[in-house]
Amino acid sequence: MGVWYAFEGEECVQEVPRTGRRKFACVTGSWSLLGTWLVRVLLDNGYNVRFTIRTTVDEAAALMALPGAKQRLDLAQADIMDYGSLMEVFTGCDGVFHTSSPSDLVSTYPPEMVDFEVRGTLNIVEACANSSVKRLVLTSSLSAMVWDQQRHPEKVIDEKCWSNVDFCRSMKLWGPLAKTMSEKAAWSLARDRGLDMVVINPAIVLGLKMFGTTQCIFTYLKGVKELPQSGLFAYVHVEDVAKAHVSALEATDASGRYICFEDVVSEEKLVDLIRKLYPGSSIPSRFSKNGIAHVISNEKLKSLGVAFPAQQKIH
């Protein structure tokens, strides 16, 4: 890890809050789409930032070109399976963001990665608990909440909901299984260690990646043949997810889990999109029926000052 100068440069000195030293945050994990947006939002908010997500030379150059990056951004290296390297990069940090890769509805998630994600998340929690970190903001997923065959369709999906791990295994939903198991394990260890942890559970994350790749809703329609009963096409823009994470770090009364979504796409609209984008393909049987209404709430997130519609239905 390179040498870190917290207050190097005239620009940096001028931005130091009058009430004390500048806050120091570390962004780790493997999700560069959210990770890079977090760097941008944190720099805009005056933070010193340490970024440990692996990048190419061009990606690193793009990050260092951000306003304030030369003075306040440190590109470091860490392995989430190496506890020692995590302790090193967390030294001096007030907050940590762990942005593990997302698990959406159609991604192929290798089953052997479930255990890896659980163990890596536990390493993050343990290292935070034994360092200067005051709060860990963990990125989980809406998929850790919605997959439950026994849930009544009219029941509101909120922060009290958990996906059923047996159902996930039976349907081979390895991504949602990994998110559910890793988040539950993180909560158990964080409580045992007395670590202040807040979890953001975003829906499908869309938006322009800093390095030129666009992630859009159309990507998720390719190859979708069948969705289990609890499928939800809720989505949110990556910039709003990043801002929600920073709010979760800064709000003194933030606690527990926060569903993060902007809007939902009805099954009727999905059918129209599939017909428009892939006119030669047949409509998946899941979308050919009248969908059962599900209600999802992000009322809790609004308490952090993040403005989204309170409730949306998906059919």
User: Of 35-49, 182-196, 214-228, 268-282, which gets the smallest average pLDDT?
Assistant: 214-228
In whole numbers, what is the pLDDT of the chain averaged over residues?
A: 81
Catalytic annotation, pick one of 70, 160, 179, 243: 179
pLDDT at 74 over 80: yes
Answer whether residue 1 is part of any domain: no
pLDDT digits (tens, 9 = 90+) for 9-49: 333 333 334 345 679 999 999 888 899 999 999 999 999 99
Answer whether residue 5 is part of any domain: no
Residue 39: CB partners within 8 Å, gap ≥ 6?
A: 27, 49, 51, 63, 66, 69, 73
SS (H, E, C) 46-71: CCEEEECCCCCHHHHHHHHCCCCHHH
Cα separation, 252 vs 302, in Å, equals 15
Q: Is 179 a catalytic residue?
A: yes
pLDDT at 211 over 80: no
The pLDDT score that the predictor gives to residue 310 is 45
Answer whether residue 229 is part of any domain: yes
Cα separation, 240 vs 258, in Å, equals 13
Cβ neighbours around 86 below 10 Å, total? 26
pLDDT at 121 over 80: yes
* pTM for the model: 0.84
What is the total count of domains within the chain?
A: 1
Answer whether residue 231 is part of any domain: yes
pLDDT at 202 over 80: yes
Answer whether residue 79 is part of any domain: yes
Paired sense of beta strands 135-139 and 95-99, if any: parallel
Under the banding of pLDDT at 50, 70 and 90, the label for residue 307 is confident
The pLDDT score that the predictor gives to residue 218 is 53
Cα separation, 63 vs 20, in Å, equals 26
Residue 315 token pair: 């059919």
pLDDT at 308 over 80: no
Q: If you average pLDDT over residues 273-298, what whole number do you get? A: 64
Answer whether residue 237 is part of any domain: yes
Answer whether residue 161 is part of any domain: yes
The pLDDT score that the predictor gives to residue 292 is 54
CA 228 to chain centroid, in Å, comes to 22
Residue-number span of the structural domain to which 97 is assigned:
10-314
Answer whether residue 157 is part of any domain: yes
Residue with tokens 């789409």: 33
Half-sphere exposure of 293 (CA within 13 A, CB side): 7
pLDDT digits (tens, 9 = 90+) for 137-156: 999 999 999 888 676 666 78
- DSSP string for residues in the chain: -----TT-SHHHHHHS-TTSSPPEEEEEES-HHHHHHHHHHHHHTT-EEEE-S---HHHHHHHHTSTTHHHHEEE----TT-HHHHHHHHTT-SEEEEEPPP--SS----TTHHHHHHHHHHHHHHHHHTSS-SEEEEE--THHHH--TTS-TTSEE-TT----HHHHHHTT-HHHHHHHHHHHHHHHHHHHHT--EEEEEE-EEEEE-TTS-EE-GGGGGTT-----TT---EEEEHHHHHHHHHHHHH-TT--EEEEE-SEE--HHHHHHHHHHH-TTSPPPGGGSSPPPPEEEE-HHHHTTT----SEEEE-
Q: If you average pLDDT over residues 41-58, what whole number do you get? A: 95
pLDDT digits (tens, 9 = 90+) for 77-93: 999 999 999 999 999 99
Q: What angle do CA 273, 158, 311 make, to 5 degrees?
A: 50
Residue 240 token pair: 């709003």
The pLDDT score that the predictor gives to residue 236 is 87
The pLDDT score that the predictor gives to residue 93 is 97
The pLDDT score that the predictor gives to residue 183 is 98
User: Of 109-123, 137-151, 206-220, which gets the smallest average pLDDT?
Assistant: 206-220
pLDDT at 221 over 60: no
Under the banding of pLDDT at 50, 70 and 90, the label for residue 1 is very low
Cα separation, 157 vs 146, in Å, equals 7
CATH number at residue 201: 3.40.50.720
